Amino acid sequence: MNVLFQDLRYGSRTLWKSPGFTAVAVLTLAVGIGANTAIFSFVDAILLKPLPYANPDRIVRVLEKRPDGGRNGISALNYLDWARQNTVFSYMAAQTGGAVSLSGVAEPVRLRGSRISPHYFDIFGIKPVLGRTFAADEDQLGKERVAVLSHKLWETQFGADPAIVGRKIILDGQPHEVIGVLAAGGAFDRAYAQIWLPLAFEPQNLTRDFHWLGSYALLKPGVTLQQARAQMDGIGAQIAAQYPASNKGWGVSVDRFADILVGSDLRRSVWIMMAAVGMVLLIGCANLANLMMGRAASREREVAVRASLGAGRWRLVQQFLTESVLLSFSGGVLGVGLGYAVMAILRLALPPFSLPREVNVTMDAPVLLFSLALSILTGILFGLAPALQAARPQLAATMKEGGRGSTTGGARRLVRSALVVAEVALAFMLLSGAGLLLRSFQRLMLVDAGFDITNVITAGLPVSNKKIPDSDRLNARYREIVAAVEALPGVRDAALTSVLPLEGWSYGMPFQIAGQPLVDVSHRPGCFFKMVSPSYFSTLGIKLRRGRALSDRDGKGAPPATVINETFAKRYFKQQDPIGQRILIQEIVPGKTQLGPEIPWQVVGVIADEKIGGLNDNDSAGVYVSNEQSPLYGMTLIVRTAMDPLTLDRALREAIHGIDKDQPLTDVRTLEQVRTESVASDRLQTRLLGIFAGAAMLLAAIGIYGVISYAVTQRTHEIGIRAALGASTGNLLRLVLSSGMLLAAIGLALGFAGSLAVTRLMSTLLFGVGARDPLTLAVTAVLLGTVALLACLIPARRAAQVDPVVALRYE
């Protein structure tokens, strides 16, 4: 132990005497270790930590399995049968979205809500910090007007009032009693939902053909996942046999919640980022190993003296490794601070709710232990080769040279060259990956979304069926709102839609084309089903390809009319003229979670495709119907303006509150913002990998410069002799450049081969570009080759300007 303390003191003094070297080394390590620490905090939170619940391994998700094998929501009657008949779950609970409007406050607020069965919180082991959660009978009609608040909502909306429990609040025009507040900081405080209400089934909800529920369960102690699956498969088969009209071909899916929490794309993105920062750190280590080897060469006389006084080889290795670990530990301490800052920035940059609620990214003990281990490993990694080289002094030659340092041996040159080759290869792989993501993002942003996003503002218009119970009044309310908005100065057009472009299907409906062979409902193809006002297409500038658009004459009582998109027409009508054809789709009963009889929607027009789920989605078949003929509680307002659309925010609110002071106007944003949000994850990923690749390229350039510069210094005498014998400046330039570019060329070749293997792992993250895109690889090679040439040019010019007299005197 005394020896170790001696080495630490001696190493500290040695590093203190070389402030320039020490500063460069510590900063390089801080950047590498900090980046790795920041990304590892996400890896740990997303992939490694157990779920933050009492019994994480016993929580399962239970869904219906479609005839095609895909997962689907559950119908109410199927869920109730499952809950009654199973004997493998301690608790089973259903859940669905249930946004509600909070009124009776300064301005009506739309709250993100969730309707749940009473045992939902029991499954996850969630206890309130105030009050209680739902009682077993509070999912019964007449007893369901109670609410549990998230801690954030309690603080932000109710001022953390300690007397909130028992207080009545107005939700969708109805009084509800607050019975509990959840704890701060937990998974449910990061949840999308802000408020939880009991899930009470009304008679019209009790169907088997409307799949709208999610379901979770807690396995009984001792029950395995396989046993649960076997029993639920049997229950599902019995229900299918009993109700073939709705359940034929349908089954039950039981999956461990921990296994399905993180999607494959998120998992892959996180590992790619971890690999990227790992490469940056390796390149930094290679650079520092080269610096340490150069520094060790200048200390050969010191090492020789110590060896002559009896210091063994491993004693010398220990001394040099101690210095390396001192550097890496200092870099690690600084890196933790940098990593925390980067982690905080990334958390802010992530799109809202892009991570599951169970993921809590923090700089906790496992992350700090990772940083400590990485610091020590890094010190050994970049310090071992220089330590081994320095610990083999040639005593006689070194002592005879009077402390000026011996010339670098062939083995040392080989190691330094190999390190530079490795740096270039790693930088090539990282740059090619960043280039692919950049090309992919550029292609994504050039996609024609099918509509004009300029000068368009959007806002949600939720309406409760408790407040407006019939569809005639609902349609009248929406017409009144659109008319009031269109009358505002600067408004060119206004429309309504059930869901904005780029934000998903909203409703996916099975359909049957009239006149074609009848197909069982469970085996019919599906399409998105969009309710819009007649002015939707003109407001967004969506082009009409054939027939006519929806119009005011397509109202209640008129023949059901639909406009389909080009993908639907090409996929299902092929060479036929779709105009006049009828598409059979079950009625969506307004305000109810049930389907009505089939409606024969007559095709009156065909429009150009608009992007529904995102710019990178394949075009989906879809039908558009008038919201007058298929009313919906909760539409989105779309307004095209002749000015900056956000300046219309206040006027919109005043116009709508002039009709109903309790009508919320939610999620007000421009269509440009909607598009920006839809690609936010892609943009962040591209920028991150680009930053890491830029750092890798810079470090590789520094590494090449350092090696070539050191080689020029070591060959000063040789260069002087060549100059004295008549070598031209061009000859000397070529001499130095060729040695540097040879190393770069080998690194480029190895990096090219490596990138062919590595970029295949990125294929699912790319859009419109292949994982082996020739242009990306070529540009990467040219860019990195140019940087290498510039890095070689500075020492090459210095070599070409060597004075032969001075160089000969140097030897």
pLDDT in tens, 564-580: 999 999 999 988 999 99
How confident is the model over 374-387, as a mean pLDDT? 82
Same-domain pairing of 255 and 267: no
Q: Is residue 708 a contact partner of residue 795, using CB atoms and an 8 Å limit? A: yes
Residue 38 CB burial class (10 angstroms; 0-12, 13-18, ≥19): buried
Same-domain pairing of 473 and 612: yes
Same-domain pairing of 294 and 183: no
pLDDT in tens, 299-358: 666 666 666 655 556 666 777 788 888 888 999 999 999 999 999 999 998 888 888 989
Evaluate whether residue 458 is within a structural domain. no
Contacts of 563 (CB under 8 A, 6+ apart): 537, 547, 549, 550, 603, 604, 605, 606, 607, 623, 624
* Nearest residue to 674 via CA among 407, 518, 454: 454
Backbone φ and ψ of 164, nearest 5°: -65, -35
Please state, as a whole number, how many other Cβ atoms lie within 10 Å of the Cβ of residue 470. Answer: 12
Same-domain pairing of 36 and 82: no
- What percent of the chain clears pLDDT 90, i.e. is strictly above it? 57
Same-domain pairing of 233 and 92: yes
- Picking from 210, 228, 259, the residue at the C-terminal end of a domain is 259
Q: Give me the amino acid identity at 212.
A: W
User: SS3 for 526?
Assistant: strand
H-run or E-run covering 493? strand 491-497
Evaluate whether residue 787 is within a structural domain. yes
What does the pLDDT read at residue 60? 97
Q: Rounded to an integer, what distance in angstroms lies between the CA atom of residue 452 and that of residue 454?
A: 6
Contacts of 319 (CB under 8 A, 6+ apart): 7, 10, 11, 387
Evaluate whether residue 620 is within a structural domain. yes
* Nearest residue to 296 via CA among 405, 375, 395: 405
Same-domain pairing of 415 and 528: no
Q: Rounded to an integer, what distance in angstroms lies between the CA atom of residue 30 and that of residue 335?
A: 4
The encoded tokens of residue 362 equal: 């923090």
Q: Has residue 399 got a pLDDT over 50?
A: no
**Residue 406 pLDDT level (bands cut at 50, 70, 90):** very low
Evaluate whether residue 52 is within a structural domain. no
- Torsion 768-774-779-785 (CA) sign: positive
Same-domain pairing of 308 and 167: no
H-run or E-run covering 216? strand 214-219
- Picking from 217, 237, 259, the residue at the C-terminal end of a domain is 259
Q: Is residue 652 a contact partner of residue 457, using CB atoms and an 8 Å limit? A: yes
- What percent of the chain clears pLDDT 70, i.e. is strictly above it? 91
- Picking from 226, 259, 292, the residue at the C-terminal end of a domain is 259
Q: Rounded to 5 degrees, what angle do the CA atoms 58, 59, 62 make?
A: 125
Q: Rounded to an integer, what distance in angstroms lies between the CA atom of residue 9 and that of residue 721?
A: 44
Q: Rounded to an integer, what distance in angstroms lies between the CA atom of residue 77 and that of residue 60?
A: 20
Q: Give me the amino acid identity at 2.
A: N
User: SS3 for 595?
Assistant: strand
What does the pLDDT read at residue 98? 81
What does the pLDDT read at residue 2? 66
* Nearest residue to 426 via CA among 61, 99, 784: 784
Residue 41 CB burial class (10 angstroms; 0-12, 13-18, ≥19): buried
pLDDT in tens, 629-643: 999 988 999 999 999
Q: What is the mean pLDDT of the chain?
A: 88
Q: Is residue 784 a contact partner of residue 432, using CB atoms and an 8 Å limit? A: no
Residue 754, domain extent: 2-47+263-444+681-810
Q: Is residue 616 a contact partner of residue 444, using CB atoms and an 8 Å limit? A: yes
User: SS3 for 454?
Assistant: coil
Evaluate whether residue 284 is within a structural domain. yes
Q: Rounded to an integer, what distance in angstroms lies between the CA atom of residue 613 and that of residue 506?
A: 10
What does the pLDDT read at residue 219? 98
Same-domain pairing of 494 and 550: yes
pLDDT in tens, 717-726: 677 777 777 7
**How many structural domains are present in the chain?**
3
pLDDT in tens, 78-113: 999 999 999 999 999 999 988 898 988 877 888 999
* Nearest residue to 327 via CA among 11, 20, 35: 11
How confident is the model over 526-552, as a mean pLDDT? 96
* Nearest residue to 456 via CA among 483, 490, 481: 490
Evaluate whether residue 560 is within a structural domain. yes
Q: What is the DSSP string of 41-72?
A: HHHIIIIISPPSSSSGGGEEEEEEE-TTS-EE
Same-domain pairing of 786 and 732: yes
Render the burial of 368-383: b for 16+ CB within 10 Å, e for the rest.
bebbbebbeebbebbb
Same-domain pairing of 71 and 189: yes
- Higher pLDDT, residue 739 or 406: 739
CA distances from 575 to 208, 519, 570, 578, 771 (A): 36, 21, 8, 9, 36
How confident is the model over 646-672, as a mean pLDDT? 91
What does the pLDDT read at residue 298? 60
Q: Rounded to an integer, what distance in angstroms lies between the CA atom of residue 753 and that of residue 547?
A: 54
How confident is the model over 188-196, as a mean pLDDT? 91
What does the pLDDT read at residue 396? 46
Residue 48 CB burial class (10 angstroms; 0-12, 13-18, ≥19): exposed
pLDDT in tens, 119-164: 999 999 999 999 999 999 999 988 899 999 999 999 999 999 999 9
pLDDT in tens, 507-535: 889 999 999 998 887 788 999 999 999 99
Contacts of 17 (CB under 8 A, 6+ apart): none
The encoded tokens of residue 717 equal: 């005498």
Q: Which residue has the tokens 């057009």?
A: 493
Residue 740 CB burial class (10 angstroms; 0-12, 13-18, ≥19): buried
Q: Rounded to 5 degrees, what angle do the CA atoms 371, 374, 375 make?
A: 85
What does the pLDDT read at residue 127? 93
Q: Which long-range contacts (CB under 8 A, 24 or more apart) does 389-393 make?
A: 389/293, 389/296, 389/415, 390/293, 390/296, 390/297, 390/299, 390/300, 390/303, 390/316, 390/320, 391/303, 391/313, 391/314, 391/316, 391/317, 391/320, 392/313, 393/300, 393/303, 393/304, 393/307
Q: Rounded to 5 degrees, what angle do the CA atoms 643, 646, 650 make?
A: 110
The encoded tokens of residue 595 equal: 């389907």
**Residue 704 pLDDT level (bands cut at 50, 70, 90):** confident
Q: Rounded to an integer, what distance in angstroms lies between the CA atom of residue 61 and that of residue 255?
A: 5
User: SS3 for 547?
Assistant: strand
**Residue 706 pLDDT level (bands cut at 50, 70, 90):** confident
What does the pLDDT read at residue 661? 87
Evaluate whether residue 348 is within a structural domain. yes
Evaluate whether residue 748 is within a structural domain. yes
Same-domain pairing of 656 and 689: no
Render the burial of 230-255: b for 16+ CB within 10 Å, e for the rest.
ebbeebbeebbeebeebbeebbbbbe
Q: Find the helix packing angle between 410-445 and 365-390, rounded to 10°.
A: 140
Same-domain pairing of 710 and 786: yes
pLDDT in tens, 209-222: 888 899 999 999 99
